[in-house]
Amino acid sequence: MSYPWVWRAFQNAADRAVIPRFGVHTLRHSYRSWLDAVGTELAVQQKLMRHVDIRTTMSYGDVVTNQESVALAKITAMTLGKGDKQHRTARGNA
pLDDT, tens only, 1-46? 788 888 888 888 889 989 887 777 888 888 898 898 888 999 999 9
Burial class (CB in 10 A: 0-12, 13-18, 19+), 51: middle
If one compares 50 and 69, the residue with the highest pLDDT of the two is: 50
pLDDT band at 81 (very low <50, low <70, confident <90, very high): confident
**CA 4 – CA 74 distance, rounded (Å):** 46
pLDDT band at 50 (very low <50, low <70, confident <90, very high): very high
Burial class (CB in 10 A: 0-12, 13-18, 19+), 88: middle
61-73 pLDDT, tens digit per residue, is: 776 667 777 888 8
**CA 54 – CA 90 distance, rounded (Å):** 33
